[in-house]
Each structure stands twice: as structure tokens, then as C-alpha cells.
């Protein structure tokens, strides 16, 4: 009869996948801003409530490789719907948490499908367009996450204050159900790969280039989180502005990340490795300037925008993982988001150590610059080893 929707309207497929990314981005970042509210309601202090954030991140790290490895044979459309169903259940139960212990368990459950969803969604997006536009297609999906930092997080926080913290998680649940519906309608109805298996996916772990690319993200992305985590405290104690400026600055960060994601993807479709190098250098420079520009709200706004733009690193690294993982793309793509969450833990931890050592809140910028340069060093090593391997293979053929 007619042409299938996913063939005729790839933009709708990308939109459906981006709605899921928006839901995930909203719950990941909004949960941080809702901490004081559910801490009070559940009868715990804020530092203890912060363990719910760690539980979610642990769910991401644990769930991504397991689901990717054992779900690789399934049709990607079915896998995406199942992952969003699990995500909806986890967030719905989070909203109903009767105690702190249950909250931890439900936040862990919510994080389990996170990495696998993004990994599979990236692979679906890349297949929709010619290879020279694949990174931009992935960026459109990831734009759901970056836009969540601009719109989803403030709205969820406002709802949490006006209607209670549980409403924020209910909104995310509704977004997950909407994603399931859109994916069911528009995602490609391709058959699963009968040759796929957990054993084949696990071959990704035997590839040095996969590990080096993941390590680039785990270290290089850490700098961004080192500053982001403590930016509210820096604004209040160093910049000397009212708390009402905090959401404004966080929105500026989100705008920078959204633009950086799209621009870096456009560049990566023309020169992938060069783009990764340039973004890491950009991040190192912006982060190094943070201590010098944090004293004034206007210069702080500018540097936060520039630091946010460094978030464009994720999409090119996702594309590189597709190139270096061979037949194990599902696992490699999902592990990218595990690495992202390692960065989310590493940056704040090192930044916190610098602050505790007496170097001040702005020292997170120097920590961040060092991490960006560390990620760059790993990536340059990756390229050097790849070129050496290519030359060694070419020699016998001459």
C-alpha cells in the first residue's frame, strides 16, 4: 500500500527519539534541583538525599552494557519501546516512593535503561540518513537532552515547588509514555539481527580503540561537570548574586550545550577526529578562564555559555565509537553513556577535593581544564595507535 511512515518521514523518527532524550535529560538534571524537597518529605538531610543521584548514575553504568549485550538481537524498535517502558515504570515508582530506601531502589531502576536507550537511538538515527550526515542525525536525538537543561529542568523544578516534588517525576513518566507511542508509530520496523549475540557484542571490550574513545569521554567530559556541579555555590559566594540568578545561568549553560551539540555534529560529519580535538581544546580554554570571569555576573554568563558549548563533545565521540567497534556497535554505543556518567562522578569529586583543600570554589575551572587536556591526551594517543596499526597492515601489501 503506502510508504511506511519511518521511510517517508525520518524527521518524525528523530523527533520521537528526541522526546525520549528530553525525558531522560529532565529526570537526570531535575532530580538534583528537587533534592531539598524530597529530602524534607522523606525525613533525611540533603547530603543523604544526594545518594539518590548516585543510585541513578549507578543504574546507568550497570544497565547499559547488560541490556546492550543481551538485547542486541532484538528489533531496535521493540528494544526502544521496552527501554522507555522500564524508564516510565522507574520514574512512576520514584514519584510514589514511601521511604528513602525505596527511593534509592527506584532511582537505580530509572537509570538502568538510560545508556542503552541513547546507544540504540543513536544507531537508529545514524541508519536513517547518508553516512555523511549521521553525526548530525545523532545530534538531533541528543538535542532532546540538551534542550531538557533549558526547558525541562526549570519546568520540573517549578512544578516540584508548586505541586510537590512527586509531580516532577510524574511529568517524566508521561514523557516516557509519549515516547513509547511515537516510537511505535514512526520507528523503522526492521527485523532484529539473528547473528547478534552477547558474545559478539562483548568483542567490543577487546578493542583498544573502543576503550580509548570511552576514556576520552570519561576524562574529557569531567571538566564540564566539575564546574556545573558547583556553579550555584560559586554564584552565591564568589559572584555575590541572589539565588534567583541560578536558574538563569543554568539555562544559559543549556543553550550553550544545545548550540555546541549541533555545531560539533556539523563539523564532525566533515572531519571527525579534528572536531574532537578542537572541542577538547575549546573546553580546556573556557574552563581555564572560569576562575578569572566568575567575579561578575555578565562575564560569568558568557563563560558558562562557552563551557556549555563544550558539551558538543558527546556526539562526535558517539560517532567514533561506531567506527571503531566493528560488529559490536550496540554495546559500544551504550557504554558511551556509562562513560558520560563516570565523568559526572569524576569531575565533581576532583572539584570537591580542590575546594576542600582550600583552593576556593573557582578552582573547579582549573580542575576542569586539566581534565579536558587529559581527555585530549588520551584521544591523541588513540589516533597515534590507530595510524600505527594502519601502517603496519599496509606494509605487507606494498
What is the rounded CA–CA span in Å between residue 291 and residue 115?
Answer: 33
Q: What is the model's pTM?
A: 0.82
Contact 106, 9 (CB under 8 A): no
Question: 71 CB contacts (<8 Å, ≥6 apart)?
Answer: 79, 82, 116, 120, 330
The Cβ-side half-sphere exposure at 348, using a 13 Å CA radius, reads 14
Write the CATH number of the domain with boundaries 1-196: 1.20.1250.20
Whether the domain at 1-196 and the domain at 197-398 fall into the same CATH topology: yes
What is the residue-level pLDDT of the chain in tens, covering all 398 positions?
443 444 548 889 999 999 999 999 888 777 766 777 778 888 887 667 777 877 888 888 888 888 887 777 788 889 999 999 999 999 999 999 999 899 999 999 999 999 889 888 988 998 888 888 889 999 999 899 888 888 887 787 778 778 888 888 999 999 999 999 999 999 888 766 666 566 677 777 778 999 999 999 999 999 998 888 788 788 888 888 887 787 788 889 989 999 999 999 999 999 999 999 999 999 999 999 999 999 999 999 999 999 999 999 999 998 999 888 877 777 788 888 888 888 887 888 888 888 888 998 899 999 999 999 999 999 999 999 988 877 776 555 44
Alpha carbon separation from 271 to 135, 169, 276, 278, 332 (Å, rounded):
11, 40, 9, 11, 21
Cα 35 to the center of its chain, rounded Å: 20
Alpha carbon separation from 163 to 11, 156, 269 (Å, rounded):
35, 10, 44
pLDDT at 194: 65
pLDDT at 140: 92
What is the rounded CA–CA span in Å between residue 12 and residue 10?
Answer: 5
pLDDT at 235: 86
- Residue 72: closest CA among 192, 181, 156: 192
Interior angle at CA 146, CA 140 and CA 148, nearest 5? 115
- Backbone Cα Rg of the chain: 21
Return the number of other C-beta atoms located less than 10 Å from residue 200's C-beta: 18
Virtual CA dihedral for 338, 32, 232, 302, nearest 10 degrees?
50
pLDDT at 398: 45
Backbone angles phi, psi at 328, to 5 degrees: -105, 45
Write the CATH number of the domain with boundaries 197-398: 1.20.1250.20
pLDDT at 5: 41
Give the domain ranges of the chain.
1-196, 197-398
Interior angle at CA 337, CA 336 and CA 339, nearest 5? 65
DSSP state of 310: G
What is the rounded CA–CA span in Å between residue 385 and residue 363?
Answer: 34
- Residue 114: closest CA among 148, 87, 89, 85: 87
pLDDT at 3: 39
231: its cell numbers: 556553579
Amino acid at each position: 500500500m503506502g510508504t511506511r511512515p519511518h521511510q517517508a518521514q525520518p524527521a518524525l523518527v528523530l523527533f520521537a527519539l528526541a522526546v525520549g532524550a528530553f525525558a531522560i535529560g529532565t529526570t537526570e538534571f531535575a532530580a538534583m534541583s528537587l533534592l531539598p524537597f524530597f529530602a524534607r518529605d522523606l525525613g533525611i538531610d540533603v547530603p543523604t538525599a544526594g545518594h539518590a543521584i548516585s543510585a541513578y548514575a549507578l543504574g546507568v553504568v550497570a544497565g547499559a552494557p547488560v541490556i546492550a549485550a543481551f538485547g542486541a538481537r532484538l528489533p531496535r524498535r521493540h528494544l526502544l519501546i521496552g527501554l522507555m517502558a522500564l524508564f516510565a515504570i522507574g520514574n512512576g515508582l520514584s514519584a510514589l516512593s514511601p521511604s528513602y530506601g525505596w527511593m534509592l531502589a527506584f532511582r537505580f531502576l530509572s537509570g538502568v535503561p538510560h545508556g542503552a536507550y541513547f546507544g540504540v537511538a543513536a544507531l537508529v538515527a545514524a541508519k536513517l540518513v547518508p553516512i555523511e550526515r549521521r553525526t548530525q542525525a545523532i545530534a538531533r536525538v541528543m538535542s532532546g537532552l540538551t534542550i531538557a537543561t533549558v526547558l525541562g529542568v526549570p519546568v520540573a523544578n517549578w512544578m516540584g515547588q508548586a505541586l510537590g516534588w512527586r509531580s516532577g517525576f510524574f511529568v517524566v513518566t508521561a514523557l516516557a509514555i509519549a515516547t513509547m507511542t511515537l516510537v511505535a508509530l514512526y520507528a523503522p520496523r526492521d527485523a532484529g539481527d539473528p547473528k547478534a549475540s552477547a558474545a559478539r557484542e562483548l568483542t567490543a571490550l577487546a578493542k583498544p580503540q573502543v576503550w580509548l574513545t570511552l576514556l576520552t569521554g570519561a576524562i574529557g567530559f569531567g571538566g564540564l561537570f566539575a564546574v556545573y556541579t558547583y556553579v550555584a555555590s560559586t554564584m552565591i559566594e564568589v559572584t555575590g548574586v541572589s539565588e534567583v540568578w541560578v536558574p538563569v545561568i543554568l539555562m544559559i549553560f543549556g543553550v550553550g550545550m544545545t548550540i555546541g551539540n549541533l555545531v560539533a555534529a556539523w563539523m564532525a560529519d566533515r572531519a571527525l577526529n579534528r572536531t574532537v580535538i578542537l572541542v577538547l581544546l575549546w573546553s580546556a580554554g573556557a574552563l581555564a578562564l572560569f576562575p578569572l570571569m566568575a567575579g561578575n555576573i555578565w562575564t560569568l554568563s558568557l563563560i558558562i555559555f562557552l563551557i556549555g558549548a563544550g558539551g558538543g563533545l558527546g556526539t562526535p565521540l558517539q560517532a567514533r565509537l561506531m567506527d571503531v567497534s566493528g560488529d559490536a556497535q550496540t554495546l559500544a554505543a551504550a557504554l558511551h553513556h556509562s562513560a558520560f556518567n563516570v565523568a559526572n562522578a569524576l569531575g565533581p569529586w576532583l572539584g570537591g577535593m580542590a575546594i576542600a583543600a582550600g583552593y576556593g570554589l573557582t578552582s573547579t575551572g582549573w580542575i576542569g581544564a586539566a581534565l579536558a587536556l587529559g581527555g585530549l591526551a588520551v584521544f591523541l594517543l588513540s589516533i597515534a595507535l590507530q595510524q600505527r596499526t594502519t601502517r603496519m597492515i599496509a606494509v605487507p601489501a606494498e
